[in-house]
A and B are shown apart, each in its own frame.
Chain A
Amino acid sequence: MSATDRPLPTPTGDSEAFWRACKKEMLTAQRCADCGRLQFYPRRYCTSCLSERLEWSTLSGRGKVYSHSTVFRALSPAFQKDIPYIVAVVELAEGLRMMTQIVECAPEAVFVGMPVEVTFDHVSDEIALPKFRRAEAKQP
Chain B
Amino acid sequence: MKDPSGRAAIVGIGRTEGPRTPGVNSLQLHAEVARKAILDAGLKLADIDGVLTAGCDEPTYCEEVAHSAVLSEYMGLKPRFTYTIDLGTPVFAKMVEVAATAISAGLCRTVLLACAEPTVSRASRTQAVEKMTAFGHPEFELPYGVSIPAFYALIARRHMHEYGTTGAQMARVAVAMRRHAGLNPWARFRDPITVEDVLASPMIADPLHRLDCSITTDGGAALVVTSLDHARDLPHQPIVYLGAGQGYSHEHLVAAPSLTSFAAVESGRDAFRMAGLKTGDVDIAFLYDNFTIAVISQLEDLGFCGAGEGGAFVEAGHIDLGGRIPVNPNGGLLSEAHPGRPGGIFHLTEAVAQLRGACGERQVRDAETALVHGVGGIMSNHATVILARA
Contacts and interface: CB of A to CB of B under 8 A. Distances in A.
B134 A67 contact: no
A59 interface: no
Looking at chain B's contact residues, the main secondary structure is helix
A7 interface: yes
B131 to A, nearest CB: 10
B202 A11 contact: no
A71 B149 CA distance: 9
A38 B203 CA distance: 37
A107 B253 CA distance: 22
B204 A73 contact: yes
Nearest to B207: A69
Given A15-B139, A87-B150, A72 B204 contact: yes
B145 A73 contact: no
A60 interface: no
B308 to A, nearest CB: 15
Contact of A67 (B129, B138, B147, B259): B259
Nearest to B160: A112
Interface string B99-125: 000000000000000000000000000
Interface string B130-159: 100110011111111111111001111110
Contact of A101 (B139, B145, B154, B202): B145
Given A67-B155, A98-B254, A99-B253, A107 B206 contact: yes
Contacts of B259: 66-67, 89
B256 to A, nearest CB: 8
Contacts of B140: 9, 40-41, 98-99
A68 interface: yes
A9 B141 CA distance: 9
B1 interface: no
Interface in B341-369: none
Nearest to B203: A72
B46 interface: no
A66 B158 CA distance: 7
| Residue from A72, A74, A98 with most neighbouring chain B CB atoms (10 Å) | A72
B154 A69 contact: yes
A70 B142 CA distance: 15
B147 A8 contact: no
A127 B138 CA distance: 13
A79 B145 contact: yes
Contacts of A99: 137, 140-141, 144, 146, 253-254
B2 interface: no
Contact of B253 (A72, A73, A79, A89): A89
B143 A7 contact: yes
Contact of B145 (A12, A68, A87): A87
A6 B146 CA distance: 12
A78 interface: yes
Interface in A49-90: 66-76, 78-79, 82, 85, 87-89
B153 to A, nearest CB: 4
A9 B138 CA distance: 6
A5 to B, nearest CB: 11
A3 to B, nearest CB: 9
B158 A67 contact: yes
B157 A69 contact: yes
B161 interface: yes
A98 to B, nearest CB: 7
Contacts of A75: 129-130, 133-134, 147-149
Contacts of A6: 143, 145
Interface of B: 129-130, 133-134, 137-150, 153-158, 161, 202-208, 210, 253-255, 259
Interface of A: 6-12, 15, 40-41, 66-76, 78-79, 82, 85, 87-89, 97-101, 107, 112, 123, 127, 129, 131
5 contacts: A41-B137, A41-B140, A67-B259, A69-B150, A89-B254
Given A9-B138, A9-B140, A112-B161, 4 more contacts: A41-B254, A66-B259, A67-B158, A69-B153
A-B pairs, 7 with minimum CB distance: A69-B153, A79-B145, A9-B139, A67-B158, A75-B133, A70-B206, A112-B161
